């Protein structure tokens, strides 16, 4: 640019020289008046050319003036970054903002601008129709009796969940409230169902404290909203524990191939502390490990939601999990709240009197040592799913005055076994599924009981936020621990049809 301007200046000067020479010749040959006029014109032209030269020189200097250097620019950027990193200075420029909205995975959410706080709100409800034909083998009634059938609508589950993190994404909380429809007595009163805090002290390694889902069994850990059938199996209700207050370590290892859980809780059936009259000095201990031969796990998700049984996502690559769980409870005084009133056992033959007396009874777990093992597996691939679980429980009365020994007549260890096998397949991927289950309880003093059934599910939007389901269940004799499923009682012979509408967000 500067070379171009200089060339223009030199050209103007060169053009002006012939004109000056011509004017000088004219002065010598013409009159004085003409000469003076010509000299005035030449002077005017020279002034105009001088002004042009000054203007061009000013523009040349403006264009060739150097800007700030790279070092200076870097210094300015550093100062600006330091100022913007200061929260008070940043807030003085513009007020803090929040991010809010709805996401299918998180539900309704609110996040602070600095990501230090977050709140997710999810919920779901199941409205169910139940039709049951019941016979009774109840030990409290003499002889086989026909009981009233059940034909009714009900709200089976109603939950709201609040979760997120506080102060840091490493401090996570979760509070779930129950609308009062999960117990045998449905009072419709909102109550705390879970309340936990997880601290991520290392990447994917957590410490949990609060009222939690105990880490035992695959189906027992699975939330009701993501079950394949309408309810859990008879064996799961018989062997699995309820919620309790305690602490737990959990996490992921080996690139999320292995998830582990280790917990200490107030007891097996202590949904809340209940005060000093319902607690003893002996904790219950739990441990669980799940290994993924195909796919990967997530202990945080498993501790909260469990293991969805259907292959609703339609895995294009197989996912296969094998797991083992154990619990031990030396119960010297835990009365148990919120779950079954005690352990179940077969009624001794010498106590039975009359045809049709039921084969099982519930006995207080106070004064017993309870050691239970569970092995479970889950497989999913292209809409096909298989879930299986096996339970082994060993119960020993601590002395001859315990209710267990008095009622069973056994002073040694009693073994009880049970389990289920469940399969499903999406006829229409991500939309329509059929499923079936076979299970039962055996090794029970010769009084084995069985369950079988089949069902179907329709997901209009390919997620659990809207689900229509139905199943048919046949139980030869309802086993122990059924108080959390209020539509039938211990020793009932059950033929049952259920329809469900599940809606959530």
Residues of the chain with pLDDT under 70: 1-32, 56, 59-69, 83-84, 87-98, 135-148, 183-185, 271-278, 335-341, 350-358, 480-486
Helix, strand, or coil (residue 14): helix
Measure the CA–CA gap between 109 and 115, rounded to whole angstroms.
Answer: 12
CA distance linking residue 426 with residue 423, whole number of Å? 11
Please give the distance of CA 187 from its chain centroid, rounded to a whole number. 28
User: pLDDT of 320-340, one tens digit each?
Assistant: 999 999 999 998 877 665 445
Token digits of residue 257: 């191939």
Which residues are 392's β-sheet partners? 373, 417
From the list 158, 155, 160, 159, the residue with the least C-alpha distance to 127 is: 155
> What's the count of helices (H) and strands (E) in the chain, helices before strands?
7, 21
- Residue 337 bridge partners (DSSP): 270
Distance CA 237, CA 449 (A): 13
Q: Are 391 and 294 in contact (CB under 8 A)?
A: no
- DSSP assignment letter at 359: S
pLDDT reported for residue 400: 75
Q: In 429-489, which ranges are E strands?
A: 432-442, 449-458, 466-475
Name 393's Cβ contacts closer than 8 Å, sequence gap at least 6. 239, 370, 371, 372, 373, 415, 416, 417
DSSP 269-289: SBSS---GGG--SPPEEEEEE
Report pLDDT for 26. 44
Distance, in Å, from the CA atom of 92 to the CA atom of 99, rounded to the nearest integer, reads 20
d(CA 190, CA 181): 9
The beta-strand segments (E) located in 213-353 are 244-253, 258-265, 284-294, 319-331, 343-346
- The pLDDT of residue 276 is 63
- What does residue 404 show for φ and ψ, rounded to 5 degrees? -60, -50
What are the structure tokens assigned to 292, written together?
């993924």
Strand ranges (E), 93-149: 98-103, 107-112, 118-136, 145-146
Closest CA to 341 of 361, 323, 356, 318: 361
Token pair in block for residue 410: 């056994």
Query: Tokens in use for 155?
Result: 């709200």
Residue 23 is predicted with a pLDDT of 47
């Amino acid at each position: 640019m500067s070379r171009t301007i200089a060339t223009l200046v030199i050209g103007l000067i060169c053009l002006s020289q012939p004109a000056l020479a011509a004017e000088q010749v004219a002065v010598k040959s013409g009159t004085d008046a003409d000469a003076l006029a010509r000299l005035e014109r030449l002077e005017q032209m020279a002034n105009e050319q001088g002004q042009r030269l000054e203007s061009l020189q000013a523009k040349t200097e403006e264009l060739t003036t150097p800007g700030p250097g790279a070092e200076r620019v870097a210094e300015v950027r550093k100062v600006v970054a330091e100022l913007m990193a200061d929260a008070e200075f940043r807030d003085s420029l513009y007020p803090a903002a929040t991010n809010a909205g709805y996401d299918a995975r998180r539900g309704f959410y609110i996040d602070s601008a600095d990501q230090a706080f977050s709140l997710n709100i999810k919920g779901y409800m199941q409205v169910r129709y139940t039709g049951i034909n019941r016979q009774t083998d109840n030990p409290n009634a003499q002889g086989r009796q026909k009981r009233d059938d059940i034909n009714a609508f009900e709200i089976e589950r109603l939950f709201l969940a609040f979760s997120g993190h506080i102060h840091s994404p490493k401090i996570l909380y979760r509070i779930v409230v129950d609308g009062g429809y999960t117990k045998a007595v449905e009072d419709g009163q909102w109550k705390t169902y879970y309340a936990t805090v997880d601290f991520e002290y290392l990447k994917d390694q957590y410490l949990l404290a609060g009222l939690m889902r105990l880490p035992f069994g695959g189906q027992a850990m699975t939330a009701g909203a993501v079950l394949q059938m309408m309810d859990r199996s008879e064996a799961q209700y018989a062997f699995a524990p309820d919620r309790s207050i305690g602490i737990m370590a959990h996490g992921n290892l080996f690139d999320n191939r292995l998830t582990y859980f280790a917990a200490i809780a107030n007891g097996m059936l202590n949904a809340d502390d209940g005060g000093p009259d319902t607690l003893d000095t002996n904790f219950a201990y739990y441990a669980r490990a799940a290994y993924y031969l195909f796919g990967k796990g997530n202990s945080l998700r498993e501790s909260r939601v469990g293991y969805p049984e259907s292959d609703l996502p339609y895995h294009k690559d197989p996912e296969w999990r094998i797991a083992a769980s154990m619990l031990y409870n030396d119960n010297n005084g835990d009365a148990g709240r919120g779950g079954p009133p005690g352990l179940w056992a077969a009624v001794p033959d010498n106590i039975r009197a009359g045809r049709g007396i039921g084969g099982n009874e519930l006995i207080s777990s106070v004064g017993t040592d309870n050691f239970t093992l569970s092995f479970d597996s889950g497989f999913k691939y292209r809409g096909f799913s298989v879930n299986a679980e096996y339970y082994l429980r060993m119960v020993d009365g601590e002395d001859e005055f315990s209710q267990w020994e008095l009622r069973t007549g056994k002073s040694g260890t009693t073994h009880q076994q049970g389990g289920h096998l469940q399969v499903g397949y999406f006829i229409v991927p991500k939309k329509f599924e059929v499923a079936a289950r076979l299970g039962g309880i055996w090794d029970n003093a010769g009084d084995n009981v069985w369950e079988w059934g089949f069902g179907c599910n329709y997901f209009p939007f390919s997620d659990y936020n809207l689900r229509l389901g139905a199943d048919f269940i046949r139980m030869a004799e309802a086993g122990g621990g059924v108080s959390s499923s209020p539509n039938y009682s211990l020793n009932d012979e059950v033929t049952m049809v259920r329809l469900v509408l599940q809606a959530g967000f």
